């Protein structure tokens, strides 16, 4: 009888502890106060860096000095601890950011048609009286190339859209951006600068690569500039040393991007634009290094890809400050387009998904179900859903940021699944026949994507 009482008491204690843990965890959406983004009569300078993982940035605790300029800038800025991308690869992430509308259908022609009739942020800001310009060295985003030709433009609406070929130094991109600011500093403007930088293949400036441990004599099969297809071919047999060498090349690419961003930020200060400009810096997504059996990006919705750095300088806000609430980078469509307004609003629950690459028909697995990958973040919880593979995972990302412990049986799973399934249904884009021009642009985009290694 005594043993039974002890067992009962132990069960009650354990149950009480479990209940306490659930009560302590934030099960509701914990978001960011939109009012911190109000910036009347401000210019907007948006600086984005491709493939930059949040945990490889010094101000977020990285052990190596990859981002000295961003870290210095962050000291007098709003630093967001929990910012998330709407997609794990570039074009759909920026399409969501530049339209505020993540497309949910998976037919290529329907996606084209959806964005054809959607107002992009650049166009909206033009209508509000802003000069608008986009400058990038990511060839897949479109824009006018240096030889005057105009490529397919997944991102539309900017008056000026300059696109340079990716290079290890990003020098031309930085120089062009600085020149544009000097020419337009007295105007009301919206400038977007996107650095291809850390994106694979990791062709690193040699002296920077050695700063982070890369050595031709100790990296086995890994060499500077090795292609992503070659790396993926040996992914399953990578040694720990070889994986570290890949990461060292990646870190060197980050360091180089940071150097260029630092030059741009210095010029922004020299032109006194910090006094009348909101300056927003974030990444479109991260990269994976075999945490879930994958390299690079685009094929999952885990936080190694979705959790991104976000640093904001707002002259109307007391600085510095670390912001702990959840925020989606997609919200910057509403933030930027309403920067003068009292009515900035956005959702605090964060929906993300992997998109198939512009396929000519719907992509099905052998069961006939669409192989989609989706996630929702609400408060401390994240639900990952892959209906085609019957994958359902729930993580408490506050306690388990590595997403290692699937707490499948928590009651939060069914709540978040219900919300995510409703989102998938509600966000389905309307189907309509795309124009011949849209199809032509899309084919051109596919060729650009192939040249960047996205498509085989």
Any residues with CB less than 8 A from the CB of 15 and at least 6 apart, and which?
Answer: none
Helix axes 240-270, 171-184, angle to 10 degrees: 20
The pLDDT, as a whole number, for residue 15 is 38
Q: Is the pLDDT of residue 192 over 90?
A: yes
- Give the percent of the chain with pLDDT over 90: 36
pLDDT tens for residues 327-356?
A: 999 999 999 999 887 778 787 788 887 765
The pLDDT, as a whole number, for residue 361 is 41
pLDDT tens for residues 203-261?
A: 888 889 889 888 888 888 888 888 778 887 887 888 888 888 889 999 999 999 999 99
* Residues 323-362: b if buried by 16+ CB within 10 A, e if exposed: beebbbbbbbbbbbbbbeeeebebebbbbbbbbbbbeeee
The arithmetic mean of pLDDT across residues 100-127, rounded, is 73
pLDDT tens for residues 357-379?
A: 444 344 333 333 345 788 899 98
CA-CA distance, 198 to 53, in Å (whole number)?
9
CA-CA distance, 416 to 299, in Å (whole number)?
22
> First and final CA of the chain: distance in angstroms?
70
The arithmetic mean of pLDDT across residues 12-25, rounded, is 38
Q: Domain 38-349 falls in which CATH fold?
A: Alkaline Phosphatase, subunit A (3.40.720)
The pLDDT, as a whole number, for residue 360 is 38
What does the radius of gyration of the chain's CA atoms come to, in whole angstroms? 23
Could you count the other beta carbons within 10 Å of the beta carbon of residue 177?
27
Domain ranges, ordered by start, for the chain? 38-349
Helix axes 436-451, 108-116, angle to 10 degrees: 110
């Amino acid at each position: 009888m005594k043993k039974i009482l002890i067992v009962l008491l132990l069960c009650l204690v354990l149950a009480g502890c479990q209940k306490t843990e659930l009560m302590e965890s934030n099960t509701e959406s914990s978001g960011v106060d939109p009012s911190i983004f109000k910036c009347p009569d401000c210019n907007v300078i948006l600086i984005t860096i491709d493939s930059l993982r949040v945990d490889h940035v010094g101000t977020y605790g990285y052990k190596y000095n990859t981002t000295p300029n961003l870290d210095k800038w962050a000291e007098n800025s709003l630093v967001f601890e929990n910012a998330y991308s709407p997609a794990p690869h570039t074009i759909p992430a920026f399409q969501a950011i530049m339209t505020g509308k993540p497309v949910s259908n998976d037919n290529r022609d329907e996606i084209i048609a959806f964005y054809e009739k959607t107002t992009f942020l650049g166009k909206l800001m033009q209508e509000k009286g802003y000069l608008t310009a986009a400058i990038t060295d990511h060839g897949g985003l479109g824009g006018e190339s240096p030889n005057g030709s105009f490529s397919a433009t997944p991102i539309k609406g900017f008056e000026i859209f300059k696109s340079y070929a990716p290079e290890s130094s990003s020098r031309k991109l930085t120089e062009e951006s600085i020149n544009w600011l000097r020419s337009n500093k007295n105007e009301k403007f919206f400038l977007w600068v996107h650095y291809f930088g850390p994106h694979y293949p990791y062709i690193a400036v040699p002296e920077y690569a050695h700063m982070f441990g890369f050595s031709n004599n100790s990296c086995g099969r890994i060499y500077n500039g090795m292609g992503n297809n070659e790396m993926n071919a040996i992914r399953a047999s990578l040694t720990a040393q070889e994986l570290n060498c890949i990461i060292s090349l990646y870190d060197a690419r980050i360091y180089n991007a940071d150097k260029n961003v630092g030059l741009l930020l210095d010029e922004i200060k020299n032109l006194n634009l910090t006094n009348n400009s909101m300056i927003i810096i974030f990444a479109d997504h991260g990269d994976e290094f075999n945490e879930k059996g994958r390299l690079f990006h685009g094929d999952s919705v885990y936080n190694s890809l979705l959790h991104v750095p976000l640093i904001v300088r707002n002259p109307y806000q007391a600085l510095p400050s670390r912001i702990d609430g959840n925020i989606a980078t997609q919200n910057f469509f509403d933030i930027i387009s309403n920067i003068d307004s009292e009515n900035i609003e956005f959702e605090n629950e964060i929906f993300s998904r992997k998109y198939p690459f512009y396929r000519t028909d719907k992509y099905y697995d052998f069961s006939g179900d669409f192989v989609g990958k989706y996630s929702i973040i609400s408060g401390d919880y994240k639900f990952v859903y892959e209906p085609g593979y019957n994958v359902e995972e729930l993580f408490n990302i506050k306690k388990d940021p590595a997403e290692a412990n699937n707490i499948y049986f928590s009651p939060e799973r069914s709540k978040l699944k219900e919300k995510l399934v409703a989102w998938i249904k509600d966000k389905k884009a309307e189907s309509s026949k795309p124009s011949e021009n849209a199809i032509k642009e899309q084919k051109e985009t596919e060729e650009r994507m192939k040249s960047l290694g996205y498509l085989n």
